[in-house]
A and B are shown apart, each in its own frame.
Chain A
Amino acid sequence: EVQMVESGGGLAKPGGSLRLSCAASGFTFSDYNMNWVRQAPGKGLEWVSIISSRSNYIYYADSVKGRFTISRDNARNSLYLQMNSLRVEDTAVYYCVRERSEADSSGSYVNFFDPWGQGTLVTVSS
């Protein structure tokens, strides 16, 4: 069974740091791009960051650029998110998400998120 299990969430003070981890199993982790997506309490989904399968490209949402760092260890089947300079608005459930690709009717490959981990809650408060 394909599964991702996040850990490392908790309470942090504004300006503080946390490191999230995601343990993947049931698939060849090194074959897939991985993402972090977050959801503030009662709000919608916000994409945070992507790392390619071999870590050769990485992108961030503007809201976290310069503060968060995504990384992975393919030997350990693990994804990470180092969060520094945390702000109250970073409070959210953080999901680890596998990215898949399939061809559409024209033969173009479309990327999508499947499956999602269960999420880990990060609360930033003084």
Chain B
Amino acid sequence: DIQMTQSPSSLSASVGDRVTITCRASQSISTYLNWYQQKPGKAPKLLIYAASSLQSGVPSRFSGGGSGTDFTLTINSLQPEDFATYYCQQSFITLYSFGQGTKLEV
């Protein structure tokens, strides 16, 4: 199985800030890495797939990068609606796995 580890687990930031969340895989997963956003009481929503491809309709302030074992999700100029929990997920092997989540707080 592939373990996914996100850091930090929580992050405090302000509107207008630039933040970066890191995701590390226990083995190389090429760019088979996706990012999701989840708000309280809601289902997760896809933000980025294949490490750096922005899902249609997602604001361009979101960007992803990395390959192999180390990946990043960057949010430029934080907006009030961006305060949520973010998860990475590997799809390199069909026994899919998620990171533990990063809660972005005001």
Which residues of A line the B interface, CB within 8 A? 35, 44-47, 50, 59, 61-62, 95, 102-106, 108, 110-119
Contacts and interface: CB of A to CB of B under 8 A. Distances in A.
B101 A44 contact: yes
A114 B54 CA distance: 13
Contact of A111 (B51, B52, B91, B100): B91
B43 A45 contact: no
Contacts of A59: 94-95
Interface SS majority for chain A: strand
Given A45-B87, A110-B31, A111-B91, A104 B50 contact: yes
Interface residues of B, number: 28
A115 B45 CA distance: 7
B34 interface: yes
Interface of B: 1, 30-32, 34, 36, 38, 43-46, 49-53, 55, 87, 89, 91, 94-101
Choose among B45, B53, B94 the residue with the greatest number of A CB atoms under 10 Å from its CB: B94
A44 B51 CA distance: 20
A78 B7 CA distance: 37
B98 A44 contact: yes
A61 B95 contact: yes
Contacts of B43: 95, 115-119
A112 B98 contact: no
Given A102-B53, A104-B51, A108-B30, A115 B46 contact: yes
B32 A110 contact: yes
B49 A44 contact: no
A113 B38 CA distance: 13
Given A47-B97, A102-B50, A104-B51, A110 B91 contact: yes
